């Protein structure tokens, strides 16, 4: 096998990037343990004691708001014999208690109690046996990011001005609320999801409704640097009423499908705001956790519309979401075809176009994603 960073170039991706367990194992160390990762949104953790459990790469974590309102990301593994200390998906707790021998931990990970501590002839040091906390947790516009690397560059720098401007636009106020959640798995590599989110070439063909309405046409595929990218376009899918269509068209509202490297996708089309987290389960298996978000100031009617759109459009059974899941599995099955002459796949569409003249159907953003992938896999 080539060195990992030679498995993609500016215009190509080698199939093994999706199919090789060796590449996958290296990604877990070189990407997932080093860069900033999406861990959730503050709206999921409204009060002290609010928590959720998830995976960052292959690492089980608890994302929790502690007693003083701070955000912590703790490894979900008991310091006694390693079992999960929290098996619930989400909720509110005063402490975490391991089911095996009932050691208990505070919301900040501190070891509070060892059951029957007198049984230890050599006493254990509670101070050294807290849950391991990720060294870096920062938020931007309520979006929670964490890193395993104490030396990771500041989050603001990692996001960069271009990506931040798009996030500022979507999350223009801070009264964000969660109005829906969809979780689903597909039999395909984890990178298929982010690269598809910023692939503006496919919607006309894979999602035929988009082709039929001609609504996804005027816009750009942009490389936002540091691996982030966005498709930005005007008035995509038609809103339910003609009145609204006119409003959307005249106020020039921008729709977006955006990726923050490596594991965050944000789709904002008309009223619909969908924050998706990519969870790799194996080189050929992935879970997606998709939040539908809105604002507390929304009217009941608007809230209903935002929630419905997760189910009807982008969710796993929605008119676009279901197509994409079918595609992820068809792509992974196709990757198995393996002859030396077909090893390299093409991402050169629009390559060489002058900056500022990018087309919505160019693979500009996909190339940017893999540039960051290459940098980290060196």
Q: Which residues bind ligand FES (CB under 6 A)?
A: 78, 80-81, 83, 98, 100-103
Least distance in Å: CB of 88 to ligand FES? Answer: 16
Residue 153's binding partner out of ligand FES, Fe ion, none, with CB under 5 to 8 Å set by partner kind: none
Least distance in Å: CB of 97 to ligand FES? Answer: 8
**CA dist 54 → 87, 142, 199, 266, 320 (Å):** 10, 18, 27, 18, 25
**CA dist 336 → 16, 40, 144, 325 (Å):** 9, 33, 36, 18
Taking the least distance from each CB to Fe ion, the nearer of 324 and 358 is 324
Taking the least distance from each CB to ligand FES, the nearer of 97 and 235 is 97
| Tokens describing residue 355 | 């900056």
Residue 324's binding partner out of ligand FES, Fe ion, none, with CB under 5 to 8 Å set by partner kind: Fe ion
Least distance in Å: CB of 323 to Fe ion? Answer: 6
Q: How far is it, in rounded angstroms, from Cα 263 to Cα 137?
A: 15
The residue whose Cβ lies closest to Fe ion is: 324
Taking the least distance from each CB to ligand FES, the nearer of 78 and 146 is 78
Q: 133, 116, 21: which is closest to 79 by C-alpha?
A: 133
Residue 44's binding partner out of Fe ion, ligand FES, none, with CB under 5 to 8 Å set by partner kind: none
Least distance in Å: CB of 199 to Fe ion? Answer: 7
Strand, helix or coil for residue 67: coil
Residue with tokens 């890193």: 147
Residue 83's binding partner out of Fe ion, ligand FES, none, with CB under 5 to 8 Å set by partner kind: ligand FES
Helices (H), 124-206: 155-170, 192-197, 203-206
The strand order across the sheet containing 50-56 reads: 71-75, 59-65, 50-56, 90-92
Residue 101's binding partner out of Fe ion, ligand FES, none, with CB under 5 to 8 Å set by partner kind: ligand FES
Q: 16, 29, 10, 8: which is closest to 189 by C-alpha?
A: 16
Residue with tokens 């995976």: 55
Taking the least distance from each CB to ligand FES, the nearer of 99 and 247 is 99
Taking the least distance from each CB to ligand FES, the nearer of 99 and 282 is 99
Least distance in Å: CB of 48 to ligand FES? Answer: 24
Taking the least distance from each CB to ligand FES, the nearer of 59 and 270 is 59
| Tokens describing residue 356 | 């500022």
Which positions lie near Fe ion, rule CB under 5 A?
Answer: 324
DSSP state, residue 223 = E
Least distance in Å: CB of 206 to Fe ion? Answer: 6
């Amino acid at each position: 096998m080539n060195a990992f960073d030679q498995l993609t170039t500016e215009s190509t991706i080698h199939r093994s990037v999706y199919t090789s367990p060796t590449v996958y194992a290296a990604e877990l160390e070189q990407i997932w343990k080093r860069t900033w990762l999406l861990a959730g949104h503050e709206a999921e953790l409204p009060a002290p004691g609010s928590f959720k459990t998830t995976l960052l790469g292959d690492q089980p974590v608890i994302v929790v708001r502690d007693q003083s309102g701070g955000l912590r990301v703790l490894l979900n593994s008991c310091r006694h014999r390693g079992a999960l200390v929290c098996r619930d998906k989400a909720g509110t707790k005063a402490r975490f208690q391991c089911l095996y021998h009932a050691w208990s931990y505070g919301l900040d990970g501190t070891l509070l109690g060892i059951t029957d501590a007198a049984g230890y002839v050599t006493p254990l040091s509670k101070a050294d046996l807290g849950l391991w906390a990720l060294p870096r947790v920062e938020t931007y516009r309520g979006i929670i990011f964490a890193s395993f690397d104490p030396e990771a560059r500041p989050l603001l720098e990692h996001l960069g001005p271009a990506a931040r401007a798009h996030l500022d636009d979507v999350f223009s106020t801070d009264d964000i609320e969660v109005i829906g959640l969809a979780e689903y798995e597909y039999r395909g590599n984890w990178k298929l999801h982010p690269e598809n989110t910023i692939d503006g070439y496919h919607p006309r063909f894979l999602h035929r409704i988009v082709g039929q309405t001609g609504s996804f046409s005027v816009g750009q595929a942009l490389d936002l640097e540091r691996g982030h990218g966005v498709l930005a376009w005007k008035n995509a899918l038609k809103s339910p009423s003609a009145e609204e269509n006119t409003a959307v068209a005249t106020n020039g509202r921008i729709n977006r499908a955006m990726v923050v490297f490596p594991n965050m996708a944000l789709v904002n089309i008309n009223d619909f705001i969908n924050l998706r987290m990519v969870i790799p389960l194996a080189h050929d298996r992935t879970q997606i956790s998709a939040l539908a978000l809105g604002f507390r100031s929304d009217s009941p009617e608007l809230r209903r519309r935002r929630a419905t759109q997760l189910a009807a459009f982008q969710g796993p059974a929605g008119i676009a979401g279901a197509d994409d899941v079918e595609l992820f599995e068809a792509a992974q099955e196709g990757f198995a075809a393996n002859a030396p002459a077909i090893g390299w796949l093409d991402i050169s569409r629009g390559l060489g176009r002058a900056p500022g003249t990018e087309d919505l159907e160019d693979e500009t953003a996909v190339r940017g994603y893999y540039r960051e992938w290459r940098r980290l896999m060196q």
